[in-house]
Structure 1
Amino acid sequence: MINKYREQKTIHFVIDRPSKKNAFTRSMYEQLAGYVREANYDEQVHAIVISGAEGVFTAGNDLDDFRARATDVNPKPSAGLAFIEVLMACDTPVIAAVEGVAIGIGTTMLLHCDSVFAGRSARFKTAFVDLGLVPEAASTVTMPLHLGSRMAAELLLFGETLDGTQAGECGLVSRVVDDGQALDSALAMAARLADKPRDALRASKRLMKAPWESQARQALDREREVFSARLRSDDCRNALGRM
């Protein structure tokens, strides 16, 4: 489930499924997408914070969901990518607080956040190729943009794991803090944004996104098509069967 907390001009969403390391189900994506969309249109909200429950950000997409979609002859559109589209369209600043693991979409969604605080021992990994899949969430554009093409290859092609310090050095996260301090730091940043003019924040964010927004949307569409095909491949089915 996704928990929602509000304090003055800040809204905080918590990914809360600790028994599965906060892995996303379809309903969780839909719930979080709805919350982000609602917050974006709330004239009292100046900042959004996203974190995970019990010291873990998220293990990414629930593998059972992948298994179901891989065998479904008439699969529904990806709820994860629908959530990413909502995040991409959000003009309200979004701040992520990462502790523990951030796997798959748990890493790629950070590329659509405006600030990311991470604990030093946090772990970031995108294992798409290992699963017989391809990158998603427009990461084939946003990750080279933020990290450079070679570091993007380390994550998206080679499946390397970064800790919080390494993620800070390459620019995947904004600030590295002591373990257990990511959420407090993110909330403190959100409180600072709450004192700034909302319309100016939103207009500035739109201007910053404008040069690469269309490229990211085109990448999202390309990835969606190939990802869907790869999900039904023998490579993917075999990988999922081993897990």
Structure 2
Amino acid sequence: MTEHVKTEIEAGIMTLTLARPDKKNALSNAMYSAMSDGLERAEKDPAVRVVLFQGDGDSFTAGNDISDFSAQASGKDTSESQAHRFISTISKATRPIVAAVQGNAAGVGTTMLLHCDLVYLADTAKLMTPFVNLALVPEAASSWLLPARIGHVRAYAMFALGEPLDAATALACGLANAVVPAAELRAKARAAAEALTKRPAGSLNQTKALMRDMDRIAAQIGREGALFRERLQTGEAREAFAAFAERRKPDFSKVTG
């Protein structure tokens, strides 16, 4: 476990709070592990009817901690990545998942929302999937789920150009249920989670299962994951991470893919 993910269970709701605000809730390996542990516990605990994700501070999450990516790309970190475990776990979750998103939701901060059932955005929210900027590829089946939700050209611009979606646009595209002032976000998401706890759990689980093509999702995650791991070892990825650390623009002209 890690102090950077707070887990609370009350009135049938497991709340998982990303609590690393000084780093914009950038996700470390330990944080991914703690979130996976929470989701796995929710599947086994009949007292948990709904899972609610939220983040402390002014950002939902900056996505994967870039220092972890850099260590993997350089070969300094050979430990098993917990990011893949989290992606697999959230994609298979049977409990309803609610998300409360403020500020930046980068990378997995956006792609995980495609596996949530109700999504509420603060008016400050920005959804970003700049995988190509880091010489990587999309994950969490987002290369299929995001175009299916918002259309190919808009999804491609998010992936390839790193173009963000503001809260109003995300709502119009069908990526969120509502946009509210930041001060009202947690109350709005909590009220939705509470409403779900009063619905028949079996019916909710079966409805969710009917709405998701689990075989296709698992296959896409597997395909993306293999390419993602390959991309981490490329010269392009090393240049992207070095440029990020050195606060400069990357130069991909002299490196190969």
TM-score (norm 2): 0.90
Give yes or no for contact 2:92–2:214 (8 Å, CA) kept in 1: no
Give yes or no for contact 2:71–2:77 (8 Å, CA) kept in 1: no
Q: Which residue of 2 aligns with 1:167?
A: 170
Change (3 A) 1:74 1:19: closer
Q: How many residues align?
A: 241
Give the CA deviation at 1:112.
0.5
Give the CA deviation at 1:229.
1.1
Give yes or no for contact 2:9–2:48 (8 Å, CA) kept in 1: no
Give the CA deviation at 1:93.
0.2
Q: Which residue of 2 aligns with 1:107?
A: 110
Distance in 2 between the 1:117 and 1:175 partners?
Answer: 5
Q: Which residue of 2 aligns with 1:17?
A: 20
Give the CA deviation at 1:177.
1.2
Distance in 1 between the 2:30 and 2:19 partners?
Answer: 12
- Which segments of structure 1 move beyond 4 Å, counting only runs of 4 or more? none
Give the CA deviation at 1:73.
7.3
Q: Which residue of 2 aligns with 1:87?
A: 90
Aligned pairs (5 A) from 1:137-216 = 137-209=140-212, 212-216=213-217
Structure 1 unaligned regions, length at least 5: none
Aligned pairs (5 A) from 1:15-164 = 15-72=18-75, 75-164=78-167
Give yes or no for contact 2:91–2:140 (8 Å, CA) kept in 1: no
Give the CA deviation at 1:241.
0.5
Q: Which residue of 1 aligns with 2:254?
A: none
Give the CA deviation at 1:75.
3.2
Distance in 1 between the 2:59 and 2:134 partners?
Answer: 22
Q: 1:79-125: CA deviations, max 9, x gaps?
A: 11210111111100000000011001101111000011001121111
Give yes or no for contact 1:115–1:174 (8 Å, CA) kept in 2: yes
Q: Which residue of 2 aligns with 1:222?
A: 223
Distance in 2 between the 1:232 and 1:20 partners?
Answer: 25
Distance in 2 between the 1:147 and 1:180 partners?
Answer: 28
Identity of aligned residues (%): 35
Give yes or no for contact 1:141–1:215 (8 Å, CA) kept in 2: no
Q: 1:196-215: CA deviations, max 9, x gaps?
A: 11111111111111xx2211
Distance in 2 between the 1:116 and 1:15 partners?
Answer: 16
Give the CA deviation at 1:163.
1.1
